[in-house]
Amino acid sequence: MVMSRRSMTAVRVEDAGDGWPIELATLAVSALFDATALTPTWALGGGEGSLAHQSPAPPHGRQSVLALKDGFAAIAAASRSVLKPSERLREELGRIGRDMERHMPAVTESSGAFRGAIWTLGLLVASAARRPQDRRAVSVAAGASAMALMPDRFAPELLTPGSLARLRFGAAGARGEAQTAFPHVVRIGLPALRSARARGTSEEDARLDALMAIMSRLEDTSLLHRRGRAALAAAQAGARAVLDAGGTATTAGREHLRRLEQTFLTLGASPRGSVVLLSATLFLDRLVA
């Protein structure tokens, strides 16, 4: 049954029904927090930080991520008993997502930075909620794609940084990534994460290597919007250099990581799209664990 059109904030985690929506919301929030903690404040909200030192996310960043938990639980609850994706469900999920965005400013001034995370993780949470018996990454991504391809009559026509980058540079962006079943997550991020673990690297280095793998291939619309093709090329080349040097667990790889970080600080730009897809990678990885 689809929820009535009441405010997302009225659907608290405690009211989400059985434990599955709550579990999915917890997984989504923990994945996003771990991605942003690994790639600190400049990754989603701007400011300074250190990839190389894996600084923890600042308190306001943690508060911002936790503020999304009720919304993800509401998304899961709305999708829980729906056997087949529908435009009605798509519109309901869109409404919940917009409510999540509107309530972010009460916690942080960087609510727009989380728009891509709400879209990406929201679709994956909805897909996983519909079919709890099939937690395979490819199945969950396919279900999210089916939902992303459906129209939302109530979505406002806004020119966001991502949409402007898509118009100017022809990049797929978060929408295109979702509609094609998250190829940079399923085919790149997850294999890189698990391969690094298999080599015996630490969990932090495995996550960083997954981020580098995604960044080396993704047309990150955040970078494109802020600094154009030159910034994207620098990010992709820097990420490839880290991986070619053996990954972030090696001395050479860590040095290339420091250089990449300095590149971002010099550009005043952040690979937010890559970080969001890292959070999706972590979510799908934990979903099947």
| 8 Å CB contact between 20 and 132 | yes
pLDDT in tens, 114-171: 889 999 999 999 999 998 889 999 999 999 999 999 988 877 776 677 777 777 777 8
Number of H helices and number of E strands within the chain? 14, 0
Rg (CA), the chain: 18
Rounded to an integer, the average pLDDT of 208-220 is 96
pLDDT per residue as tens digits for the range 50-68 = 444 343 344 455 677 888 9
Q: Model pTM?
A: 0.86
Cα–Cα distance list, 222 to 127, 156, 164, 225 (Å): 26, 20, 10, 5
Q: Are 179 and 124 in contact (CB under 8 A)?
A: no
Spatial distance between the Cα atoms of 158 and 197, rounded to a whole number of angstroms: 41
Q: What is the DSSP letter of 104?
A: G
Residue 174's pLDDT is: 87
Res. 106: pLDDT tops 60: no
Which of the given ranges, 1-10, 95-104, 208-217, has the highest pLDDT on average? 208-217
Closest to 243 (Cα-Cα) out of 251, 253, 234, 235: 253
Tokens of 288: 């099947």
> Which tokens is 74 given?
């509401």
107, HSE (Cβ side, Cα atoms, 13 Å): 21
H helix or E strand, kind and range, residue 223 = helix 221-244
Among 243, 237, 217, 230, CA closest to 269: 230
- Tens of pLDDT, residue by residue over 26-54, are 999 999 999 988 864 445 444 444 444 34
H or E, element range at 251: helix 251-267
Structural domain boundaries of the chain?
A: 8-287
Query: CA 105, CA 276: separation in Å to the nearest integer?
Result: 19
User: Residue 179 in 3-state DSSP?
Assistant: helix
Q: pLDDT digits over 232-288, tens only? A: 999 999 999 999 999 999 999 999 999 999 898 888 888 989 999 999 999 999 998
